Amino acid sequence: MLAVSRELLARIHRDGEEAYPEEGAGFLIGNEGSVVEIFPLPNAREDTARHNRYLITPEDYLKAELTADRLGLSLIGVFHSHPDHPNRPSEFDRDWAQPFFSYIITSVNKGKAIESRSWLLKEDRSEFLEEKIQIK
Amino acid sequence: MSTLKIPTPLRSYTNGQAEVTVNGGDVASAMTSLIREYPALKPHLYSEQGELRAFVNLFLGENNIKDLQGLETPLRENDRLILIPSIAGG
């Protein structure tokens, strides 16, 4: 289970809407299955791919990790949006996923964020399993 | 002996350690030493074909080893490697 406040979930939705029709993404910062802060980042994919792909560079990863350290917290996952697509992970998501990270995916239809679901990669990397989002 | 910084999501496989020591005269040997010590890391760093996964970036100091000599980049005593994943999806 992943605990997220209503306010942070609203910010994740807003990030997806602002990025539309491209994918928006960022880190979830927190501890023990609870999101305390989010860290939106620019989508570093080339222009032509940003509608269905996102990329966070190693440099931006380090920035987020330093921010988490400063807050006495950890990077616990990633959020990203699926413009005009369901909020289920793709094969590409699985190939690039990190174990133990929560992956919140928000479906954004015609510019409006509809719903978020959270997913965890199985340790054998074979599939994602859904984890319930608890609004705190 | 060099040190290797482990990113947060992989620390469960290094007993929670953020930094581990690795042995070897180059980056490839250091990675082999890492996997020998922490074999559960292997599927997350290497593909089934035995190649480093696309999201794995290794920095020696501030330099990506891709800009140096790749896996053949020599390591000196007390060098510090940093493993940083590119985060991507679609």
CATH number at residue A45: 3.40.140.10
Inter-chain touch B9–A103, beta carbons under 8 Å: no
Rounded Cα–Cα distance for residues B12 and B6 (Å): 10
In our burial notation (b when 16+ CB lie closer than 10 A, e otherwise), range A21-60 reads ebbbbbbbbbeeebbbebbbbebbbeeeebbbbbbbbbeb
Would you state the pLDDT for residue A73? 97
Would you state the pLDDT for residue A48? 87
Inter-chain touch A80–B89, beta carbons under 8 Å: yes
Residue among B43, B59, B86 whose CB faces A125 most closely: B43
Task: Identify the bridge partners of residue B5 per DSSP, sorted by sequence position.
Answer: B19, B82
Residue among A58, A76, A93 whose CB faces B89 most closely: A93
Neighbours of A20 (CB within 10 A): 19
Spell out which residues of chain A touch residue B8, defining contact as CB-CB under 8 Å: 65, 68, 74-76
Rounded Cα–Cα distance for residues A120 and B74 (Å): 36
How many separate domains does chain A show? 1
Positive or negative torsion for Cα B35, B41, B46, B50: positive
Task: Identify the bridge partners of residue A25 per DSSP, sorted by sequence position.
Answer: A41, A80
Spell out which residues of chain B touch residue A65, defining contact as CB-CB under 8 Å: 7-8
Instruction: Collect the ranges in chain A with pLDDT lower than 50.
Output: none
Residue B61 has pLDDT above 90, yes or no: no
**Where in the sequence is the domain holding A113, given as residue range(s)?**
2-135
Q: What share of chain B has pLDDT > 70, as a percent?
A: 100
Query: How many residues does this entry show for chain A?
Result: 136
Q: What is the ipTM of this complex?
A: 0.85
B10 touches chain A (CB under 8 A): yes
Domains, chain B, ordered by start: 2-85 (3.10.20.30)
